[in-house]
Amino acid sequence: MAITRQVIKPMDIQNFFGKRERQSFKMMSEMKRYFRKEKHHPITVTNFCEYYAINASDLYEAMQATDLYKTKKAENRKNKPEVAPPIFDVINTKQLPYQFSRKTE
């Protein structure tokens, strides 16, 4: 799977550096200030590699992992298990309260 994406997302930074989401947003805002970009301008792979002095191939591996994670997450969302039946009896329609196995005090 070849990466054609040229824009860095916070999730890429999370995977690459092992940071939390909030910290990755802070890192992106620092880069935007450094490159004098406005809020709506994206951070590119070239900008990111220049700012952190890293190899682009290493970053592309992290981006691949991010994209793979997102596709797996979407597949799992589609394959939801069936809904469990309700606790009460459908025929009797009277719902019984929860009963403890031991006496509680």
Predicted TM-score (pTM) of the model is: 0.62
- The reply to whether 52 falls in a domain is yes
- Mean pLDDT along residues 52-79: 84
pLDDT for residue 61 is more than 70? yes
pLDDT for residue 55 is more than 70? yes
Place of tokens 């719902």: 95
Give the chain's domain count: 1
Say which residue, 68 or 2, is predicted with more confidence: 68
Q: Which domain holds residue 22?
A: 10-67
pLDDT band at 72 (very low <50, low <70, confident <90, very high): confident
Would you say how long the chain is, in residues? Answer: 105
Say which residue, 40 or 103, is predicted with more confidence: 40
- The reply to whether 103 falls in a domain is no
For 1, 53, 78, the CA distances from 72, given in Å and listed in that order, are 14, 31, 10
